[in-house]
Amino acid sequence: MFHRKRSYKKRGPFKMMKLKKQTVYTVAAVWLWLFAATILLSFFTDAKMLSPLREELYNSLGWAMYPLPPLLVSISLLFFKIKSEIAKPNVPIGFLVMLVGFAGVSQAGSFGEFTWRILANAIASEGAVLAFLGAIIIGFIITFNASLLLKQSEKYLKKNRRLESGAVNQN
């Protein structure tokens, strides 16, 4: 009779730790906050460790590096279970689309220059301007969930029309 050899699973270094999913999300959110704080701190100090970060961000993103900390914070809010309008996915997605649009149209940093060059070569400079302006408008609509605003303004306009027509009929 043959005896089976006992097999052992190889465990990775982190297999022993069984973390809850929300714990992992919280750790990721805290890291994003730390990155945002580090970037923000690099704007205001000339520390030896932070000035290369600021210089690299400026070379890569130009002025678009300044909205990066709020973008990272808004992304981190997705990982927390917060029931708020600012913690919904549309906020960082729309903010990122707007930031790419502004960086591209102003050719901010090497990223903005690269996106501008790609679009300008594909659809000419005028088309690139229109595409980036479209991205800015679309990002604004996504960020503020403007479809709801449009519905609310439509209700308001209908209400005002009814009031105006009622006032005209009474005269």
**Average pLDDT of the residues in 2-15:** 67
> Is residue 12 over pLDDT 70?
no
DSSP state letter for 63: G
Split at pLDDT 50, 70, 90, the class of 66 is: very high
Extended strands (E) in the chain: none
> Is residue 44 over pLDDT 90?
yes
**Average pLDDT of the residues in 158-168:** 73
> Is residue 148 over pLDDT 70?
no
User: Distance between CA atoms of 160 and 52, rounded to whole angstroms?
Assistant: 57
Amino acid at 11: R
> Is residue 152 over pLDDT 80?
no
What per-residue confidence (pLDDT) applies to 84?
Answer: 86
What per-residue confidence (pLDDT) applies to 92?
Answer: 96
> Is residue 95 over pLDDT 90?
yes
What per-residue confidence (pLDDT) applies to 98?
Answer: 97
Residues 6+ apart with CB under 8 A from 64: 99, 102, 103, 108, 109, 111, 112
Which residue did the predictor score with more confidence, 18 or 24? 24
Residues 6+ apart with CB under 8 A from 113: 107
